[in-house]
Chains A and B, each alone.
Chain A
């Protein structure tokens, strides 16, 4: 009897240890939720519905994985929504009004995102303004610049050019943008988990003073992470333009909070020093799946924001309980 009790305790202890291992708890939570959703409504796992989720998920997902890198290094970027709108708008206007080659304009879009990230990084690290305030300022400044250039009017972009097909087309119905998303997420995962820069990112966010003492170039690490999230936001915005055929001034509105939400659901600490790319992917999947299942299941169409909010809190709480953390 005593042996049985002690072996049960051992199994429980091992289970708790497994759940505490990085992404296991959030992955399990996501799988459990997906199974529940599939049992609620069979359409949830239909090919067409999965295609809908996979087609729209990369836009938020790309922004969120970039945000994860930045939050781990101890900073925020609230200007990602404005970058999401401005950089692709420049691409559309360069091609449609400037007659510039689509590919060059696309690179211009990504470079614009990188420059915006660089500016955020320098303001935060060199002038010393907290990133929350600095990027709140640039969020408004870039949105304003966007309005100055566009006058509020949308700029069309052809959906049928090769560039649009390469980044937002489909292969036998499978959305190409999801492949790009997974590829870029895999690169960031490798950087974060297996490269020196990843270690620097974790220690920079975890303990700035200690990392300085260890010789980690803290400011450079943060600035590079700002540039990564800038580039990814620009890329995400261009995917939307390829998909929708127009760039418009209010694109990306509110996406900064959704990206932070996906990151936090995925287990990244807002205080920095902890978090994973896989967790953020799971967080993004949870946000999209919850909304999707509520509409599929005929939840009152005006109430689902409330449901989504409640389910997000439940998901994060469950994750915290598994991980044994208090924030």
Chain B
């Protein structure tokens, strides 16, 4: 390859980089709001939030945005580390975060025992630890509070809500992005409990997290199980894809959809009446209040307290006003 081609390639790479950074900065500038600083402002606290999720998951992007906005409001530094679904890595990241001696730590507790010792060690060293998004509510754990949805409860909530669209003898499928992960186990357990109450049968489906994969598996399931009357996705991707599949297969008169989160396709499905309801776990609040509580604990030695963020069901009645907030990346 000649020198001139190499030079052209280097220029292209630099250009691509500049375009990327300009877009990233432009986007950030547009979104930046600088609200007035309040309690604990400017004290320079440093918090680390360790998250089991994927940095590319829109849901966790919302959690991160909430964290960043709260850090601006309270004048503290906060960073979020992602383990991309790997629990062992999450444990190591928490350990490393505590070694850095931060002023407070947030953690998504994805395992009932793996985090217990490290969290206790941090608390003993005077580092407050708050659980967000996922909690260890079943066994003893030293974390000070939990901010997020009760997974079993939200599963039951959406199942209970869907009882009005289903009847005894109906059948639903519960597609899951990550079968076996705590959120999927607890949410599906809640959904199944609500279905048992009205005599609806159900089956879980390993749908995968990649949209193309998820859509062909849900489509295949509906083809092979024509008796299916409803789909309740346990996560954002499965809920979004299910709505699109039902529309593409023209089954909206027979198959009702429900699930979690407000990805663009889900919002469109709610507006069209295909998706009857979706639980908004308000991820923004999880990141926001995690920083607020940690700041308040350091600032005024306040006691930590649990916050249930998973109470909102978005339906056709309120989807428009929620969508306005989605555009601002708050919901």
> Which residues of A approach B to under 8 Å, CB–CB?
41, 43, 46, 48-49, 52-53, 55-56, 59-60, 85, 93, 97, 112, 115, 118-119, 122, 125-126, 143, 145-154, 156, 219-220, 223, 240, 244-246, 248-255, 288, 291-292, 295-298, 301-302, 304-305
SS of A interface (majority): helix
Give the residue name and chain of the B residue nearest to A143 (CB).
Answer: B56
B268: chain A residues at CB < 8 Å are: 245
Is there contact, CB below 8 Å, between B211 and A295?
Answer: no
- Contact for A146 among B13, B27, B56, B264, CB less than 8 A: B56
Is there contact, CB below 8 Å, between A301 and B221?
Answer: yes
CB distance from A304 to the nearest CB of B (A): 7
> Which of B13, B57, B60, B219 has the most chain A CB atoms closer than 10 A to its own CB?
B219
Shortest Cβ-Cβ A-B pairs, 4 listed: A152-B61, A249-B56, A296-B224, A295-B220
Is there contact, CB below 8 Å, between A292 and B24?
Answer: no
Is there contact, CB below 8 Å, between A298 and B27?
Answer: no
Is there contact, CB below 8 Å, between B24 and A148?
Answer: yes
Report 21 cross-chain contacts, Cβ distance below 8 Å, ordered by A residue. A41-B224, A49-B220, A52-B220, A53-B216, A93-B23, A115-B9, A119-B9, A126-B6, A148-B20, A150-B56, A151-B329, A219-B1, A223-B1, A240-B211, A248-B211, A250-B56, A251-B210, A252-B210, A253-B209, A296-B220, A301-B204
Given known A-B contacts A296-B223, A305-B206, A152 and B60 have beta carbons under 8 A apart = yes
CB distance from A139 to the nearest CB of B (A): 13
Given known A-B contacts A220-B1, A245-B264, A292-B220, A122 and B24 have beta carbons under 8 A apart = no
Is there contact, CB below 8 Å, between A301 and B206?
Answer: yes
Give the residue name and chain of the A residue nearest to B31 (CB).
Answer: A151
> Which residues of B approach A to under 8 Å, CB–CB?
1, 6, 9, 12-13, 16, 20-21, 23-24, 27-28, 54-58, 60-62, 64-65, 179, 203-206, 209-212, 215-217, 219-221, 223-225, 241, 244, 248-249, 263-265, 268, 329
Is there contact, CB below 8 Å, between B223 and A248?
Answer: no
Is there contact, CB below 8 Å, between A152 and B56?
Answer: yes
B64: chain A residues at CB < 8 Å are: 151-152
CA distance A143 to B217 in the complex (A): 25
Give the residue name and chain of the A residue nearest to B22 (CB).
Answer: A149
Is there contact, CB below 8 Å, between A56 and B215?
Answer: yes
CA distance A250 to B286 in the complex (A): 22
- Contact for B263 among A151, A246, A305, CB less than 8 A: A246
Give the residue name and chain of the B residue nearest to A151 (CB).
Answer: B61
A250: chain B residues at CB < 8 Å are: 54, 56-57, 209-210
CB distance from A92 to the nearest CB of B (A): 11
B210: chain A residues at CB < 8 Å are: 250-255
Give the residue name and chain of the A residue nearest to B263 (CB).
Answer: A154
Is there contact, CB below 8 Å, between B23 and A149?
Answer: yes
CA distance A240 to B244 in the complex (A): 13
Is there contact, CB below 8 Å, between A291 and B27?
Answer: no
- Contact for B224 among A60, A112, A255, A295, CB less than 8 A: A295
A126: chain B residues at CB < 8 Å are: 1, 6
CA distance A85 to B265 in the complex (A): 17
Give the residue name and chain of the A residue nearest to B177 (CB).
Answer: A250
CA distance A175 to B268 in the complex (A): 22
- Contact for A246 among B12, B13, B264, CB less than 8 A: B264
CA distance A74 to B264 in the complex (A): 41
B217: chain A residues at CB < 8 Å are: 291, 295
A143: chain B residues at CB < 8 Å are: 56
CB distance from A10 to the nearest CB of B (A): 45
B205: chain A residues at CB < 8 Å are: 295, 301
* Given A52-B220, A118-B9, A255-B210, 10 more pairs with CB closer than 8 A: A126-B1, A145-B20, A149-B27, A151-B24, A151-B61, A246-B264, A248-B56, A249-B61, A253-B56, A296-B223
CA distance A253 to B13 in the complex (A): 24
CA distance A219 to B244 in the complex (A): 44
Is there contact, CB below 8 Å, between B55 and A249?
Answer: yes
